[in-house]
Amino acid sequence: MKRWGRLLTIVSLVAVILSAGFVAGSLRPTAFAQGSGANPATQPKGTEELFGPFWEAWKMVHDRYVDKVDDSKLMEGAISGMINALGDPHSEYLSPQNFEAFTTDLSGVFEGIGATVRKDTKTGGIMIVAPLPASPAKAAGVKAGDLIVTVDGKDITGLSQSEVIGQIRGPAGTKVKIGIVRQDAQKLIELTITRARIEVPAVTTAVYEGNIGYIKLAEFSNTGLTAFNRGLRSLRLNRLKGLVLDLRNNPGGGLPTAISVASQFITEGPVMIERGKEGTQDIVLESAGKSLAPTIPLVVLVNESSASASELVAGALHDRGRAILIGTKTFGKGSVQTIAPLSNNGGLAITIAHFFTPTDRAINDVGLTPDIVVPWDQDAKPDYDVQLVEALRYLRNEF
């Protein structure tokens, strides 16, 4: 049994890009798992007494509150509060606007400032994982590690990630002001950034000296698998002596894409173990077969911003003996979300399982430690990719 309509996101799929966003997000889905659809649910039996205080509060607000009350906002606030009470940063209520963005902006083309992000649970701010190359964020001086705490002068630390993204994204040519806290600064830094239309290249390829191939996957998006397979074929795999798979700064995406990418290097057998709530049976997802590169020597590059689907693929290739990992410890996001629409055109992102590597290693809150740890200070050495150099040396047997 394979449940393909799942998400593996860094925090939430939309949150990966400060715009219409990914997941993936953020890991992006090929299809969304549906809940009960848009049909309103009836109140479960036996909950009348439990929800008594809620309706008492509802009535008091309508009877006594001094200003006009917006029932839709009250309802959405109640749903958000319920989901927030789970204490899970990957589960959240999506307003109709954010749900539409979540489910439609999956092509890698968006309008915003262009930065990979994640929610910082300690401060409530939005952490910049990395500004995208040639993006408005990069041009404005946004750096990895910056913490967004205000948008257009308003504190956003109490908002969900998708809510913040909804404020930062917008039409190309319009401006947004973000306030950031930087590690080496003693005060709030405010940057006004002009949004732009940004197209994220799904795959980048190259061939280095010694016939060592290189392929970088930016995200596990809807179109990512087709581009990835095309990129692999373009490298003329039968001529290569080795291959570098670069999953650095890849926040994740759709579970089907992740399984398919891993399957290009693993001909058969387990790729991941999915473990749901107590009382449910583990699901072992296996290689789809028809591998393009089942035997080529392989190095996977990872870093602290390799999350979710990236960790799934890296963990599978490592556990199955197909690759070694080089770089820095990964993010540690090993959970699976399903996306369900609600009757108000909003939706819920709910964590339904955790995933484990083929040898049953945990990912969530743990991450993957590379076989060869190679730190890289990109601010100090922006033009010298020491991690890639180490991968090439390894595949060339240069020790």
- Distances in Å between the Cα of 290 and the Cα atoms of 215, 232, 263, 318 are 19, 13, 8, 19
| Contact assessment for residue 275 and residue 356, using Cβ atoms and an 8 Å cutoff | yes
| Contact assessment for residue 121 and residue 42, using Cβ atoms and an 8 Å cutoff | no
Q: What angle do CA 37, 344, 340 make, to 5 degrees?
A: 35
Pairing of strands 212-217, 242-246: parallel
Strand blocks (E) in 152-297: 154-155, 175-181, 189-194, 196-199, 203-208, 212-217, 242-246, 253-254, 270-275, 283-286
Pairing of strands 203-208, 212-217: antiparallel
Helices (H), the chain: 52-64, 71-84, 96-104, 136-139, 161-168, 224-234, 255-263, 309-319, 386-395
- Altogether, the residues listed in the chain come to a count of 399
Catalytic residues: 308, 319, 333
Coil, strand, or helix at residue 205?
strand
What are the beta bridge partners of residue 372? Answer: 326
- Distances in Å between the Cα of 111 and the Cα atoms of 19, 153, 275 are 6, 21, 36
The pair of three-digit structure tokens given for residue 298, joined into one six-digit string: 């392989």
Task: State how far the Cα of 280 lies from the Cα of 283, in Å rounded to an integer.
Answer: 9
Q: Which of 317, 314, 319 is nearest to 367 (CA)?
A: 314
Q: Which of 391, 255, 350, 266 is nearest to 311 (CA)?
A: 255
Pairing of strands 109-112, 92-94: unpaired
